[in-house]
């Protein structure tokens, strides 16, 4: 995959995730904001901030959440960014960490 392909795939993944987070945020009381290529998710109670951003040099999407860093690679067969260690897609990973933060199940 070249730089432009990665950029196109990462932007599409973050825009789609931002749309899903907007709906979930209204239901669960958190805010998601996509600016300058990075997606920030903010929680008031308990206070926290998660960041989802593309890392072009290594062609991964990085997620900083719950005092951890997750690095997802693009899986062409699935057509999604996936965490190799668990097989979770970006949407599944975010639903899990947001659910842990809020103490309730969240679906995206």
Tell me whether residue 64 is in a domain. yes
In a domain, 14, yes or no: yes
CB 51 within 8 A of CB 34: no
Any domain includes 108: no
pTM of the model: 0.92
Is 76 within the bounds of a domain?
A: yes
Residue 107 lies in a domain: no
- Is residue 55 included in any domain, yes or no? yes
CATH of the domain at 39: 3.30.920.10
For 40-44, the CB contacts below 8 A with 24+ separation are 41/65, 41/94, 41/98, 43/101, 43/102
Answer yes or no: is pLDDT of 5 > 90.
yes
- Given this model, what pLDDT does residue 58 score? 96
| Token duo for residue 84 | 């190799």
pLDDT tens digit string along 14-67? Answer: 999 999 999 999 999 999 999 999 999 999 988 999 999 999 999 999 999 999
The string of pLDDT tens digits covering residues 73-100 is 999 999 999 999 999 999 999 999 999 9
> Which structural domain range is residue 29 located in?
3-102
Q: What was the pLDDT predicted at 4?
A: 94
Q: Is residue 92 part of a domain?
A: yes
Terminal Cα-to-Cα distance of the chain (whole angstroms) = 27
Number of structural domains (the chain) is 1
């Amino acid at each position: 995959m070249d730089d432009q392909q990665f950029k196109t795939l990462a932007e599409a993944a973050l825009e789609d995730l931002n749309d899903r987070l907007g709906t979930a945020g209204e239901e669960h009381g958190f805010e998601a904001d996509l600016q300058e290529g990075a997606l920030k998710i903010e929680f008031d109670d308990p206070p926290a901030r998660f960041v989802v951003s593309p890392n072009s040099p290594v062609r991964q999407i990085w997620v900083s959440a719950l005092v951890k860093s997750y690095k997802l690679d693009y899986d062409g067969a699935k057509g999604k960014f996936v965490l190799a260690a668990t097989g979770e897609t970006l949407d599944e990973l975010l639903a899990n960490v947001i659910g842990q933060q809020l103490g309730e199940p969240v679906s995206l």
